[in-house]
Amino acid sequence: MTESALDYRWSADKLASLLVRYDDLVPCTTAFLDTRTPGSDRKENFTIIGPGVAENPDQHVHIDVPHGFNVGAARQPPNCVNSQHSHETAEVFIVHSGRWTFHVGERADDAEVLLTPGDAISIPTQVFRGFTNVGEGDGFMFALLGEDDPGRVTWAPEVFTAAEAHGMVLLENGGLVDHTRGQQIPEGVAPMSPTTAAQAAGMRRLDVAGLAACVAPARALRPAPRSLLSTLGVAEFPIIGARRQDGLPAGKLNWRHGFQLRKLVIQPGAATAEHVRPQEEVLLAHRGALSLALNGCAFTLAPGDVISVPVGLARRYANAGDEPCEVYVVDGGDGPQGFRVEGGSA
């Protein structure tokens, strides 16, 4: 990149503020209604980009710049359960480590599927879903939510009952009261009415085949024959979204989310061409070491790191290690575009 092509609005420090290291993630262990329910009381919730759906104002937001979608994460020890709930916007998980079962239905008994590292799942709105770490160690998943304001969680009726028995009350304003910490319901604020049986019966349901259709297994991903970044040693794999204007074919999960998802695999010694995206782009580092050249600055991402790449800045990705580098890329909008920088490095 030539000096004249640099955008001096983006200093090295400002760009660094858009990088969240895995080791610097700040968890919230009291984010949701089921915080005190045995079996669900050891989970950690992370809000990386955007407000997320946490019900506790103690939840730390790492990057509060609107992107049109939210990025978060979940980390749970073995046998820890995230209780049955539904969302108002898209919810996508990408397994980074561990083995996870996802179960749908009001009582988690409609269908179940096992996910392992590299797998992605997108469960439609208004479907009760939950998940459990069934691996031997701590598991970590990236989470994507649609829109700048993803709304609130709707809990299955039994979650309210179990929470109340262990001192937790959800309020109509979306906040939480934890009686185990001496908190009381504020004056003038009413408790949230539990989800009724009729409301639960009105939720959408998925059978085994329907749930399987929501999963993009890592082993089944196929590289695009031609795309903006495809070159020797670099492959792009579509996951979420319809066929793109930059040549990437539709992914398996090709209904509208408000964002698209692809996987980028870079072999040792390989690099992409320098290119530009006219929409928000977030990188989720999964395996290996990713070198990112951005506006005259260089960053190296390790597994679990997340960075937001500003709109319109030229960027170039390379493998900084001696093993294949894998990164998941979230692009804002349902029809992302991109173009190579004329005369840029390849």
Give the model's pLDDT for residue 246.
81
Is residue 102 domain-resident? yes
Give the model's pLDDT for residue 343.
67
Is residue 99 domain-resident? yes
Phi-psi group of 296: left, alpha or beta (phi > 0 → left; psi -120 to 50 → alpha; rest → beta):
left
Is the same domain home to 47 and 79? Answer: yes
Is the same domain home to 191 and 225? Answer: no
pLDDT at 253 over 80: yes
Range of 248's domain?
Answer: 3-15+221-340
pLDDT digits (tens, 9 = 90+) for 257-288: 999 999 999 999 999 999 999 999 999 999 99
Is the same domain home to 145 and 39? Answer: yes
- State the residue for tokens 């599927």: 113
Q: How far apart are CA 340 and CA 346, in angstroms?
A: 9
324 close to 286: Cβ distance less than 8 angstroms:
no
286 close to 96: Cβ distance less than 8 angstroms:
yes
Measured at the alpha carbon of residue 282, what is the angle toward residues 277 and 283, in degrees to the nearest 5?
110
264 close to 236: Cβ distance less than 8 angstroms:
yes
Is residue 118 domain-resident? yes
Domain-terminating residue out of 216, 236, 264: 216
User: Quick check: pTM over 0.75?
Assistant: yes
Is the same domain home to 206 and 227? Answer: no
Give the model's pLDDT for residue 232.
95
pLDDT at 177 over 90: yes
What mean pLDDT value characterizes the chain?
95
pLDDT digits (tens, 9 = 90+) for 7-53: 778 999 999 999 999 999 999 999 999 999 999 999 999 999 999 99
For residue 300, the domain's CATH number is 2.60.120.10
Give the model's pLDDT for residue 141.
98
Q: How far apart are CA 144 and CA 315, in angstroms?
A: 23
Is residue 21 domain-resident? no
pLDDT band at 127 (very low <50, low <70, confident <90, very high): very high
Is the same domain home to 142 and 266? Answer: no
pLDDT digits (tens, 9 = 90+) for 87-114: 999 999 999 999 999 999 999 999 999 9
Domain-terminating residue out of 216, 234, 257: 216
Give the model's pLDDT for residue 189.
94
Domain-terminating residue out of 194, 216, 238: 216
Is residue 346 domain-resident? no
Is the same domain home to 56 and 191? Answer: yes
Distances in whole angstroms, Cα of residue 252 to Cα of each of 176, 192, 221: 38, 38, 9
Is the same domain home to 175 and 35? Answer: yes
pLDDT band at 247 (very low <50, low <70, confident <90, very high): confident
SS3 325: strand
pLDDT at 4 over 70: no
Is the same domain home to 232 and 209? Answer: no
Give the model's pLDDT for residue 344.
67
Is the same domain home to 144 and 272? Answer: no
pLDDT at 188 over 90: yes
Alpha helices in the chain (DSSP H): 12-16, 157-165, 197-201, 208-212
Number of domains the chain contains: 2
Is the same domain home to 106 and 61? Answer: yes
Is the same domain home to 202 and 231? Answer: no
